[in-house]
Structures are given as structure tokens and as C-alpha cells.
Chain A
Amino acid sequence: MKTARRFGLILILFVFPVMLLAHRLDEYLQATRLSVGLDRIILKTDLTPGVDVAPLVFSLINTNHDGRISEAEGRAYANRVLEETAIEVDGRRQHLDLVSFQYPSFQEMTAGVGTIRIEARASWRGTPGRHSLSYQNNHRPDLGVYLVNALVPASREIEITEQNRDPRQRGIRLGFNVMPFPGPKSLITDGH
């Protein structure tokens, strides 16, 4: 009785209109975090298709249409996303190596709560001085809504000084400084 009173588990006197679960519907959310280290750039992208576009996205991945995402299909789609992602440091294109990927089930995707997670890495050598990094996500701009953020660098020798995005957050340009190295050890201590 006390519990019932606490929650007021009584009739809700109002009749609510039938509502859709206000999860994402016709958008394909693509959220990226960029981590700049002294010897690498880590990219982590979470892709969450809305309810209405989930079947389309699933069919892009599940190319043999057996209803399951195989290792090969998962890897192929992750690589396709990376091919459509451009990262440049100081004007030079960086090659992204796929580190890991993870897929939800079709049921989760069609419920609007399934997120594809892709991690990739570009190798570079951070020399002291000013640098710029540009990132551009060209994956499914017809469906995509985007987030992109730079993480605070784990290395104290890197300081992000500038961030400029486009209005849809498909791209970001970072300005950052690499401080003079205190020693070679710092080269292998960075990363997430």
C-alpha cells in the first residue's frame, strides 16, 4: 500500500494520444570522436539508424540478405564507412586502419536503439609546432545527421587551439600545437 502510494499507481486520469516512441526515425545519426595523440589519431564513430531507415541501412550491410551480419559483411561495411571518411593532417590525407567494429541485431536497429561502432586509427608522427587536422564524413549524407567532437588529448604535449565545424557537423577542422618533446618515452605513452 505504501509502495502503491509512493508511486501513485492509480489510474492515470488523462488519456494520452497514441505516441510513437520518440526515438530517431528517418535520420542516420553518425557521431564521431577524434583523439589526437603524438603517434596516432584515433577515430571512433557510432552510427545509429532511425526506425524508418534501419531496414535500408541493414540491407547495405547484410549484402547476402540472410538476415544476419557476418564478420565479412561487418568488416566490408566498416571499411566502406572509412573509405568515405577523409582525415588530413597538415593537408596530407591519412590512411585509416580499421581497429574494431561491432554491430547490433536487426531487431535493435529497427527499434531505433541499435548502434554500429567503428574504431579506426591513422598513424602519424607529431613533430613540435603548429598543425591542422581536417575530418570530413561523406557517408550517406542523404540520411545522415552528424556529431563530431575532439577529445581533450591524453598527452600534455598536445594542445587543441581551434575548432571549426560546418553547420551539419559533417566536418571539423582542428588547429593544435605539439610542444617540444621532453623525451622519446612520450611517444609511446599516448592513446586511448
Chain B
Amino acid sequence: MKIHQYGTLVVLLALSLAVNVVAGLSPRSQRATADAATLKAVSAAKAFLATLDSRQSAKVSLDLNKTTRSNWSNLPTGAVFQNGSTQRNGVKLGDLTAAQQDAALALVAATLSPAGYQKVINIVNADETLERTSAPGRAATSGTRFGRAEYYIAILGAPSATQPWMIQFGGHHLGINITLAGAQNVLTPSHTGAQPSMYTFNGQSIRPLGKENDKAFALINALSAAQQKQAILYYQVRDVVLGPGHDGEVIQPEGVRASGFNAAQRAMLLDLVSEWVNILNEAAAAAKMAEIQTNLADTYFAWSGPITNGSRAYFRIQGPTAMIEYAPQGSGTDHIHTFYRDPTNDYGAKLFKP
């Protein structure tokens, strides 16, 4: 029995090492780059705070506790959030000078990958588009506001290379919650969304969540008929299950289990998952992807809706350490909500107790 246990451990360690090598990072260099990522965030946070006056600083710098960390939402300014709050933590971009906005966004960029930061900016720009198109028809009494001015940044706890703290950046369709605890950076729970799901900007067509959509449709169509039969739920799913306000909840998994996937299907599933994981800086994302890959056999992929790209379809990826939901809102595909959670490590729960 002991030999069997050791054998399992050796295989797991070998797998972990192999994954890190595949990711291009040895454990030591991964740790070093993770440390560097935290130091970069600490430096950017201090630089941002240095631009603020005392009133702004008091708004931005908050205690890190269960109440503050869970204050995020998919909803726009003017709505009561799922946790009962009527306002996000921190200060909004619209109340900052251009230099302060630069420093705020530099902090967000410092914690994310370049592609992740661009995704965030694309979501913000989609909301700016929404504000410009919806504002003229809005009732004068309405408190609802969209647009880039309504994105808030907050720092929970003191920026530190060793002690836990958090950065929150969010607004309508965006909830970036990054917990930093020493070398560990955690992105869950986070929310990305888009409305419109496609817009033209500087002459370019932008789809903030286009890769998530396209990779998911590619995956469902790459499954065999038998796998599709397991993956495609026979009932309609009209919205996400675990959005804001559902911290700590884990639902029973459904769909097709990836243990039966071939190598190409596994690669496609990981590539799809990476659209959320890789929002975070490279070192932290590589470690998270390695963890998800280790648990891939126990990961489920569920689908509800037609499988022709362009159709309205919900999907869910659920494994031991990651849960992703993608749900178009209403009857079309122009308004999308996604949520990324880790049932074991939301807000860095494995790393510390607030």
C-alpha cells in the first residue's frame, strides 16, 4: 500500500515537473518570476497611491476582509449589487485626473498579462460604446451609468511582498479580483462580460470575448457524437449559476468528463480555459494552468444550446480547482456574462484566512 502511495506521489511530482517544463519555467524560476510579479504589483500600487490626495487615498485603501473582498458585481453603477451594496470599492476613473488614471491602469497592467490587460480594456471600451448609445434614451431620473468613467479601482490591505492584499478593478461587465499573498497571485473569483459583444473601434472589429466563444464552439464540435451526447445538457440553461453573491457555493458537476478526451481535445479544453487563466500575469497563470492540467481528468465540460458558432449557447467548465461559466444574456448573443471561480482558492482562501 505504501509503495503504491509513493508511486502515485512520484508520478504526480513527475507530472508537475513536466507541466512546468512544458510551460517553459522550472519550479525555481517560476517562483522567482512569481516573486517578481508581486514586487512589480507592490511598486505599481505604491506609485498609484502616491498620486492620490488624502481623501482619494482613503477611498482606495480599504481593509481586506470578507465584506470588502466580496463587493464586486456584473451590474452597472446605479444598481443594487448582489451583496446588497450600492457602490463598488475604491475610486472611479471618472474622479481621477489623467495622470492618476494612468497610474491606476499601470497598476492593473502590472498584475495582468499583456493579453489579459487588452481584454480588460476591450471590455471597458465595449461599455463606453454602450454608454454612448444608451445615454441619449435614458430617463433623466435613472441612476444607471455605463462607460469607462464608471470603472473603480481599490486596494484592500497594504501592498506587500509578503502579506496578503488585493487589487480590485471593476465596473459593468468586469470584476477583476486579484489576491496577492507573497509569491502567489490569484485571479478568482473574477468576472468578464461584454455588451455589445462586437463593436468597431479605430476601424477595427473588436470582440472582447470572441476567443472564448470561438474556442468553445470549436471544442464542442471536436467531440465525438458519444461525447457530445454527454456534454450537451438536455435542458435549457438561461443564465449563470454562480455569479456574484455565490461565494463558497459549489454545484454538482455535469457534462462530459475530460478523462475520456484524446490529446487534441484535452489541448483544446486547456486552450479554452487559458482565456480566463491567462488574464493574470504569466508566472501566476502558468502555475494555475499546470494545476488545472493536473486535474484535467476530473474536469467536466457541459453545454446547453445549438453547436453552430453564432448561436446562443451556454457552457460550463468545472474541475476541482476551476469553474468557468459562459452565458449569453437574453435571447441573443450580444450580451455575454462569464465567471471564473476556484472552489478551493477564491480570494486566496488556501493561502490565508482574512
Residues of A within 8 A of B (CB): 1-4, 6-10, 12-14, 16, 18-19, 21-25, 27, 29, 31, 33, 102, 104-105, 107-108, 111, 113-115, 145-147, 149-152, 160, 163, 165-169, 192
Contacts and interface: CB of A to CB of B under 8 A. Distances in A.
Interface in B128-160: 128-130, 132-134, 137, 142-144, 148
A33 B125 CA distance: 34
Q: Could you say which interface size class chain B belongs to?
A: 35 or more
Contacts of B124: 7
8 contacts: A7-B128, A18-B133, A19-B196, A23-B330, A145-B238, A149-B241, A150-B252, A167-B235
B213 to A, nearest CB: 15
B329 A24 contact: yes
B199 interface: yes
Contacts of B47: none
B239 interface: yes
Nearest to B253: A152
Contacts of A31: 239, 241
Contacts of A9: 128, 148
Given A24-B329, A111-B79, A2 B239 contact: no
Contact of A150 (B75, B80, B133, B251): B251
Interface stretch (B28-36, B98-106, B215-223, B274-282): B98-106
Contacts of A160: 252
Interface in B199-228: 199-203
Interface of B: 75-76, 78-80, 82, 84, 98, 101-102, 105, 121, 124-125, 128-130, 132-134, 137, 142-144, 148, 195-196, 199-203, 234-239, 241, 246, 248-252, 254, 329-330, 332, 334-335
A114 to B, nearest CB: 7
A152 B144 contact: no
B236 A169 contact: yes
B69 to A, nearest CB: 19
Contacts of A19: 133-134, 196, 334
A3 B102 contact: yes
Minimum-distance CB pairs A-B, first 7 = A22-B335, A14-B200, A152-B250, A113-B79, A22-B330, A149-B251, A145-B238
Q: DSSP class of A's interface residues: helix, strand, loop or mixed? A: loop
B125 A8 contact: yes
A108 B79 CA distance: 6
A114 B84 CA distance: 11
Contacts of B143: 107
Contacts of A102: 84
A147 B241 contact: yes
Given A21-B134, A104-B80, A167-B234, A8 B252 contact: no
Query: Interface centre among A4, A102, A149, by most B CB within 10 Å?
Result: A149
Contacts of A33: 241, 246, 249, 251
Contacts of A151: 249-252
A105 B80 contact: yes
Contacts of B144: 111
A108 B75 CA distance: 11
A105 B235 CA distance: 32
Given A6-B102, A8-B202, A31-B241, 15 more contacts: A6-B105, A12-B201, A14-B199, A16-B133, A16-B199, A22-B195, A24-B330, A27-B238, A29-B239, A102-B84, A107-B143, A113-B80, A145-B236, A165-B235, A167-B236
